[in-house]
């Protein structure tokens, strides 16, 4: 590691497990003090904090369920309580999200509202209410998805939320450029997380791996490395972009890899 984030503070939402945990570990390994956000699973967040501290890093957990009234206010209140009045932030990673596996015909208004509340509304207002905390030359990184360029009808509402997050990223990049704050999105493909563990094995895993040019499923660290680069000073001239981190998924016609 390069210690390239020494002296900074980062906040990673949904950092109790999976990609969020990997991102939190990676940023901490680069010297950042990391706020490990969780929605309802305090034990998972505590495990992430323990891993970071065990490796010599600095981290603390903050809890606030997203997608419910008062979510953003509670999250920032927990952040301020942990760090004290006037706390500032260098890197914000909007990673927390929920999935939706219903096609158009069976998606209910309640399910639609819920996935948008967590995946779009929460990041939007987290940024809005946090801009006075984010330092000039800071970083905002939104975790999107490869489904924004690969049509999957069975995840339509979820895919729409990630498309909205991409638009949010490049529009916000334009607005915050005067402060030197970069805003980018990272779009993972199928990734080997505990969320996918129930189905990502055997023939299903082999089929998922075949989507990628590398013939494998992504690992959380594959995504964390991209996020760490975007958080670093080396990415100062990159903003308003969606970085495809799908391992080259669906680059060719189906069955013609």
Q: What are the residues whose beta carbons fall under 8 Å from the beta carbon of 57, sequence distance 6 or more?
A: 25, 28, 29, 31, 34
| Helix, strand or coil, per DSSP, at residue 201 | coil
* Secondary structure (3-state) at 210: helix
Secondary structure of residue 58 in the 3-state scheme: strand
Name the packing angle between helices 42-54 and 18-29 (round to 10°): 30
Q: Which of 38, 79, 116, 158 is catalytic?
A: 158
How distant, in Å, are the alpha carbons of 23, 127, 139, 193, 249 from that of 37? 12, 15, 17, 18, 30
Asked about 38 being catalytic, the answer comes back as: no
Indicate left, alpha or beta for 230 from its phi (over 0: left) and psi (-120 to 50: alpha): alpha
Return the active site residues. Answer: 158
């Amino acid at each position: 590691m390069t210690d390239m984030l020494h002296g900074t503070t980062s906040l990673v939402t949904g950092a109790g497990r999976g990609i969020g945990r990997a991102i939190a570990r990676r940023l901490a390994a680069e010297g950042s003090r990391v706020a490990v956000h969780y929605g309802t699973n305090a034990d998972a967040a505590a495990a992430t904090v323990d891993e970071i501290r065990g490796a010599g890093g600095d981290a603390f957990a903050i809890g606030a369920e997203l997608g419910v009234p008062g979510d953003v206010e509670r999250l920032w209140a927990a952040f301020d309580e942990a760090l004290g009045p006037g706390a500032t932030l260098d890197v914000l990673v909007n990673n927390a999200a929920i999935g939706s596996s219903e096609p158009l015909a069976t998606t209910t208004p309640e399910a639609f509202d819920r996935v948008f509340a967590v995946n779009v509304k929460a990041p939007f207002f987290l940024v809005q209410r946090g801009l006075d905390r984010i330092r000039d030359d800071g970083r905002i990184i939104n975790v999107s998805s490869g489904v924004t360029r690969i049509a999957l009808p069975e995840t339509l509402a979820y895919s729409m939320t990630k498309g909205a997050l991409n638009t949010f990223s490049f529009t916000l990049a334009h607005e915050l450029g005067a402060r030197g704050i970069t805003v980018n999105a990272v779009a993972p493909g199928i990734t080997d997380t505990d969320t996918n563990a129930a189905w990502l094995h055997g023939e299903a895993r082999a089929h998922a791996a075949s989507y990628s040019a590398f013939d494998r499923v992504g690992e959380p660290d594959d995504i964390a490395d991209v996020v760490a680069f975007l958080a670093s000073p080396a990415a100062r001239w990159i903003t308003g972009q969606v970085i495809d981190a799908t391992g080259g998924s669906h680059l060719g016609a189906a069955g013609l890899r």
